[in-house]
Structure formats: C-alpha cells, structure tokens
Amino acid sequence: MADEGADAEAGPDAAWLALHADREAVERALSLAQARQRFGTDPEAVAQARREEAELLVSLDRVLTQIRAAEYRRRPGSRRW
C-alpha cells in the first residue's frame, strides 16, 4: 500500500510497470501452485496448492482488470468516470 503513493509520484509509466510486475509475480506463483498440484505426493500439500491456486486466480483477475483500466486511461481522449 505504501508503494502506491511512490508509484503515483513517479508517473504513469512507473505505475504501469508496477502492475505488470505484479502480474508476472502472480502468474509465477500460479504456475508453481499448479505444478505442486500436478506433481505433489502429499494429499494435504496438493489440497493446499489447490486453495492457493483459487486465491491466486482471484488476484490475477484483479491485476488484469487494473491493467485493462490503465491501458484505457493511457489512450488519448479517454473519459474518466
């Protein structure tokens, strides 16, 4: 949360890059969770990876929505509501 203010002060490009860094981190964690499900041998660890995957998919949706909104705002003549 404290980083959001720093991103806003650095300009729209810094915020844009931060969103894509967040997306990359979530996608990487999602891949690891899926691999733990696929190749895990402990049923509890597989179940935990499945729960993590569900949470990460929600996070990925949130980040992608923010990226789409930022892309729209970057276009010339875009409306703000």
pLDDT tens for 6-35 read 444 566 678 889 999 999 999 999 999 999
Contact predicate 22/70, CB 8 Å? no
What pTM does this model have? 0.76
What's the CA gap between 53 and 56, in Å, rounded?
A: 5
- Provide the mean pLDDT of the chain: 86
What's the CA gap between 49 and 81, in Å, rounded?
A: 39
pLDDT of residue 69 exceeding 90 = no
What's the CA gap between 58 and 26, in Å, rounded?
A: 10
Q: Which comes out higher in pLDDT, residue 47 or 80?
A: 47
Single out the residue of 73, 74, 62 nearest to residue 23, CA to CA.
62
How far from chain centre, in Å, is Cα 64?
Answer: 7
